[in-house]
Structure 1
């Protein structure tokens, strides 16, 4: 029985695929409402922003960007979202160009802070998906995890270079 020796490229391709899956994914910035921005919806539906959000795929560390004039953005809990009123929002901004990082999986509730705007549909729920197959981040904060990812990236790069040298020398 003859043994077929696999080519170096046929061995390298699956290995590169596996190693590339270890690298961190890039975050995405979403402009809320696309060209309409963050304002009272002109459509007849109160769910304009929720419909927009339902068409997006939000991941941990993505950002949502709110562009608006003479308005504000509040991150609130689900009760305050339903009431369209917040006394102590989780986050508040009124600078006209607000970016908010979705730092965990789960639901985020956004409303306008201008009286009457939320009731007229200027509100949104964003669902952030669980990272696929990733463990929960360590309690030490993002600095430790960034350093770990940089180290992992360097190790992966060195392995790839070594393998390329081995197979093509």
Structure 2
């Protein structure tokens, strides 16, 4: 009986570790090396960037831009299509700006400075439901390490805790439970 209980507890701990690793949000640097500026090849730069990732709820977008030279407005689809900034859902004016994707659906972002939006500085991001597997974290643009938010994981990391860290969280209580089982 004690061996069966030990197997059940170990299986629960292993599944918990797997679930914990998949539950963490990822951080994406919008445009990667292009950053958030008027793209050299028009809107295709941001279309290609956003289509190369799978975004999940709680992922964070980092818009790297120089304060005063750009901004980022979360807008409706109609305002995105027309580059109208008369009533943004949210306007972030200090770079770098973080935006957390808090629900499934499509998000629309534009720069409201001058004709930047018309010149291609706009991006859509579609957020799916969480699949339980971590999304990749985009690397920050080279040479921009000073604009990387301090809470971001290191480049190339999904932001998920390491297996060693997760093991400590679950194996310590497991050892206590196992100790009580043998009494």
Indicate whether the TM-score tops 0.5: yes
Cα deviation, residue 46, structure 1: 2.3
Check whether the contact 2:106–2:125 (CA below 8 A) recurs between aligned residues: yes
* Counterpart Cα distance in 2 of 1:67 and 1:80: 22
* Counterpart Cα distance in 2 of 1:7 and 1:162: 17
Structure 1 unaligned runs (5+)?
Answer: 1-5, 134-155
* Counterpart Cα distance in 1 of 2:5 and 2:64: 51
- Deviations for 1:69-101, whole angstroms, at most 9, x for unmatched residues? 211100001111111112110010121211111
Cα deviation, residue 13, structure 1: 4.5
Q: Residue 164 and residue 52 in structure 1: after superposition, are their counterparts in 2 closer, same or farther (change >3 A)?
A: farther
Ranked by relative contact order (alpha carbons within 8 Å, sequence separation 6 or more), the top structure is 2
Paired residue for 1:60, among 57, 63, 70?
57
Q: Secondary structure at the match of 2:55?
A: coil
* Counterpart Cα distance in 2 of 1:57 and 1:165: 43
* Counterpart Cα distance in 2 of 1:168 and 1:113: 66
- Deviations for 1:11-38, whole angstroms, at most 9, x for unmatched residues? 5553223333554711222111112210
Q: CA RMSD in A?
A: 2.9
* Counterpart Cα distance in 1 of 2:36 and 2:179: 53
Q: Residue 131 and residue 114 in structure 1: after superposition, are their counterparts in 2 closer, same or farther (change >3 A)?
A: same
> Partner residue of 2:93?
94
Paired residue for 1:40, among 38, 41, 46?
38
> Partner residue of 1:73?
72
